[in-house]
Amino acid sequence: MKCKNCGFLIKEDKKFCTNCGCKIEIDLEQISEDIKTTEVNQNKTSSLNEVIKIIEKFSNKEARVNNQPRAFRDPDVVLPSLSKSKQILDWEPSTNIEEGIKSTIEWYSSFQDKIKDYTYIE
């Protein structure tokens, strides 16, 4: 979604604009419920194995995959759509899944030493 004050793109779970600090006046729970399924990959579906290969590529590590039987009622195919995120949030992805994973791994790697000392409270 876009900040009404500065136009900056904001993640749906934010209560304040990360650019200008303006309070977001929107019912975030309703948006999450309305969107249901989105895919940040220009309407292209990626299999879990494809995502794992991308992570391996940019992390230079081999994943330890433990294949399990499919869960009860697990769908054969999930076809995500960006139509609701465009309609409700006026948002379209600017990054494909490969670039998004690469950026995430680069960010994590740059903060890895600091993150290990954080205490997480449940």
Tell me how far apart the alpha carbons of residues 95 and 121 are, in angstroms, rounded to a whole number.
31
Confidence (pLDDT) at 61: 94
Tell me how far apart the alpha carbons of residues 43 and 93 are, in angstroms, rounded to a whole number.
9
Domain positions in the chain: 1-35, 39-62+76-115
Residue 38 pLDDT > 50, yes or no? no
Note the pTM of the prediction, 2 decimals. Answer: 0.55
Q: What is the pLDDT of residues 49-105, one digit of tens each?
A: 889 999 999 999 999 989 888 888 877 767 777 788 888 888 888 888 899 999 999
Q: Enter the tokens of residue 102.
A: 């690469």
How confident is the prediction for the chain on average, in pLDDT?
A: 77
Tell me how far apart the alpha carbons of residues 85 and 77 are, in angstroms, rounded to a whole number.
20
Tell me how far apart the alpha carbons of residues 44 and 40 are, in angstroms, rounded to a whole number.
8
